[in-house]
Amino acid sequence: MRVNQLANETGVSVDTVRYYTRIGFLKPTKNPSNGYKEYCAKEKRRMRFILSARQLGFSVSDIAEILDTADQGESPCPLARRLIQKRLEENEKGFQDSQRLRQRMYSAVRDWETKPDRAPTGNMICHLIEEFSESG
């Protein structure tokens, strides 16, 4: 199958297929008669694997490690377990950071509701931001 067909069958753009081909995740053969890249069922499975891994939060470098391990005939499962744990910890930290930011934003909205607008001066740009403290 050609790039268009692989893209259609896996629900991605042609550019996505080309990207994963360019970085070596997909390895199509070249049709000698017309020079077109041809993707086989194995490449379609790899594309679906890549998409599933991305949906789970694996990075491109994580996926490269997993594919390399599998291509060497070794089980990538222990690696996948370690990497997903690492990604989960990173996600949890980001989630907590986002929640703290959300609380600061709510606090700012409440604090700023009653404060007047002021024109900038030589010493101040926006007093709302410069005078803000979480304690409100």
Averages of pLDDT over each 10 residues, the chain, 136 residues: 95 97 95 90 96 96 97 97 96 97 95 93 91 69
Neighbours of 46 (CB within 10 A): 21
Burial class (CB in 10 A: 0-12, 13-18, 19+), 70: middle
Beta bridge partners of 29: 38
pLDDT of residue 69: 98
Distances (CA, A) of 118 to 7, 90, 110, 127, 133: 54, 40, 18, 7, 18
Please give the domain boundaries of the chain with CATH numbers for all domains. 1-55 (1.10.1660.10), 59-136 (no CATH)
The predicted pLDDT at position 136 comes to 46
Q: Token match 């199509």: residue?
A: 28
